[in-house]
Amino acid sequence: MTRSVLVVAHLHHPEAVAATELAVRTLEEVGMRAVTEDEFEYGSPLEAVLVLGGDGTILRAAELARGSGAPLVGVNFGHVGFLAETEREQVDDVVRRVATGDYEVEERGTIEITVHRPGAPPVTDWALNEAAVEKSDRTRMVAVAIEVDGRPLSSFGCDGVIMSTSTGSTAHAFSAGGPVVWPDVDAMVLVPVSAHALFARPLVVGPQSVLAVEIVRRSSSAGLLCTDGHRRIDLPVGSRVEVRRGADPVRLARLSPAPFTDRLVSRFSLPVQGWRGWAGEHGVTT
């Protein structure tokens, strides 16, 4: 059976397009078949998914390959590229390592989303990063009620509410003031956005919890649900969004054993000058 690799690229990025052509040639050299997005049929067997782009492209690739079990390996052509494994100069090497299985697989938790809307059947979705309830009218706040494990916690007007995985804690939730959660922590994060309230702090809950956000009846504005930044569902007043831990993780191929701390420092260009490690171990007096 031919070994197939799905290639997903940011086709509006000239460098990513050139890198895609290189990746396809290298895959052919090592006896593997490159499958493009247009050729891919859901359910087709895949050995891996090669992603050439930023985090948005990786999220799109995760949606395409959902259920295949194939690990995603990202080559960063974006700005931050937090989910990417390596940089654009290493495309040829990445392909050859995928061909020889020279990588480890890391599983990242997902969330499952159920949307209840007045007069309509429930709608389900999923996300690797987050489900964000946003206001649909830019000139007005949306009034929401927050619930954790079937119990009301608070209600307030706001610009939105983000419910994220640990992986998504460094994305939209981080920009809204949420905590950074290490990816091996099995948790979910809820972050209110510009809430008009005395108590609207970010929350971190366990893997068995269920988060819910309702667009309350007193709201003068409807809402909008955005999952992983690109799938959207309208939320009329009276809608309810429930978020729980997903059953199916996303598998990421890891080419380097570098810890998550190093990834944070690299992606956010954090200042670490002056760090000496365990000073006593090196006989350093501080």
Give the pLDDT of residue 279. 59
Helices marked H in 153-228 — which ranges? Answer: 172-175
Q: Facing residues of 221 across strands?
A: none
Give the pLDDT of residue 122. 98
d(CA 207, CA 219): 30
Q: Where in the chain is the domain with CATH 2.60.200.30?
A: 111-245
Residue 49 tokens, joined: 């998914």
Reported pTM: 0.92
Q: Where in the chain is the domain with CATH 3.40.50.10330?
A: 4-108+249-268
Give the pLDDT of residue 35. 96
Give the pLDDT of residue 276. 84
CA 103 from centroid of its chain's CA atoms:
21
Identify whether the C-beta of residue 132 lies closer than 8 Å to the C-beta of residue 161: yes
For strands 4-9 and 33-35, give the pairing. parallel
pLDDT tens per residue across span 94-142:
999 999 999 999 999 999 999 999 999 999 999 999 999 999 988 899 9
For residue 224, give the H/E element and its range: strand 223-227
Residue of 55, 102, 234, 248 marked active site: 55
Could you confirm whether domain 4-108+249-268 is CATH 3.40.50.880?
no
Residue 217's φ and ψ, nearest 5 degrees, are -65, -25
Give the pLDDT of residue 166. 98
Decide if 149 is catalytic: no
DSSP state of 266: H
Give the pLDDT of residue 36. 92
Q: Which residues of the chain have pLDDT under 50?
A: 280
Superfamily for the 111-245 domain: Probable inorganic polyphosphate/atp-NAD kinase; domain 2 (2.60.200.30)
